[in-house]
Structure 1
Amino acid sequence: MGFNDVMVVRDKSRSRTIRHYLMADEEQVIAVRRHPAALLRPVAEVFGGLILAGVLSRYFGGGILTLIVWFGWLYLVGRLIWRVLTWSVEFFIVTERRLMYIQGLIARRVGMIPLKKVTDIKLERPIQGQFLDYGTFIMESAGDDQAFREVTFMPYPEQLYFDISSMIFPSLDEAGD
């Protein structure tokens, strides 16, 4: 199986954003967003905050304390919106030459590891990740400093792990091509 057989583009809606970070002669092989489960905690905080704000409003019966409680809940809603927007522009990209992790809504951070420098890749799947189908990739590379070491909440973890591993460590008949 060659690089062209590994085409696993998961998110074509942001292909222009992704192309912005590719070199002119570089081909995108894999591009994925983090799994939506990355947003579960902020969503739970908003719903838990709503319940707590409702209970405290009833307890305080109005006034300045109730207003403070509801402003606290609005803060949680604003933080959820921020995290959703940030999640929507984060990508993990694999090309035939490198791994990239693009993060940040306002201040963009692009971490890059050349495929030739990756010495090991590990997949970890917590119990909740097994149920929701996500995992964490941990990369080891030759050299002291790497742009990123782990990417959490990766969707399609087994398939991505296999695809990325086959690019990093090609089989003997591919290496001879």
Structure 2
Amino acid sequence: MAYPDDLLGEGEHVLLHRHPHWRMLIRPLLVLLVVGVGGGYLAVLAASSSWRTPLWGALGVIGGVLLIWLFLTPLLRWWTTHFVVTSQRLMVREGVLTRSGVHIPVDRINSVRSRRGLIDRLLGSGTLIVESASDEPLEFDDISDVDRVQSLLYGTFDEDSEGQHPAG
């Protein structure tokens, strides 16, 4: 994957690169559907009014604001959030206008735990809890196939699935 290539050190290679689980997009997609159908219905109702042009303009502005706030912003947040495991570290980068990130060297990770509720198990996601040498535990929500990620961080990654074995 092209995203972290400029952040990699010499000899470092990407083992896993993911965005948060797709379930984060369910609510924004429902908003898109409701705003589209509701706005269309209200536009049809306003068509018979003598005030139709200002009403359509108001519906367009309200619909546009709702779509930017409740659809586009979460979609961009999902798209710009990266969970990357390399041969040497764990990187989490997020943010649209202001970027923030966490980089943890794999050799400084003390323990990795996962938490999966019923919905998480049904959808194949979970929360990854990483304890490093000197920090409070970090929780990463909505990680796809969290058990595989946990195994990868412990170095028990199955060589047949990716053709690579983590170093370090």
The question of a shared fold, defined as TM-score above 0.5 by the shorter chain, is answered with: yes
* 1:32 maps to 2:2: no
Partner of 1:101 in structure 2? 92
Map 1:3-152 onto structure 2 (within 5 A): 15-54=1-40, 62=52, 64=54, 67-79=57-69, 80-144=71-135, 149-152=138-141
User: Number of residues paired by the alignment?
Assistant: 152
Whether the 8 Å contact between 2:110 and 2:131 is mirrored in structure 1 is yes
2:143 to 107, 131, 154: 154
Deviation of 1:122 after TM superposition, in Å, equals 1.9
Evaluate the alpha carbon distance shift between residue 128 and residue 57 of structure 1 in structure 2; reply closer, same or farther with a 3 A threshold: farther
Deviation of 1:54 after TM superposition, in Å, equals 4.7
Deviation of 1:156 after TM superposition, in Å, equals 1.9
* Secondary structure of the corresponding residue to residue 20 of structure 1: helix
Structure 1 gap segments, 5+ residues each: 1-14, 168-176
Q: Aligned equivalents of 1:68 and 1:84: distance in 2?
A: 24
One-letter identity of the residue aligned with 2:124: D
**Structure 1 residue ranges, 4+ long, deviating more than 6 angstroms after superposition:** none
Q: Aligned equivalents of 1:95 and 1:134: distance in 2?
A: 20
One-letter identity of the residue aligned with 1:77: L
RMSD of Structure 2 on Structure 1 (CA): 2.8
* Secondary structure of the corresponding residue to residue 9 of structure 2: coil
In the superposition, the TM-score normalised over structure 1's length comes to 0.69
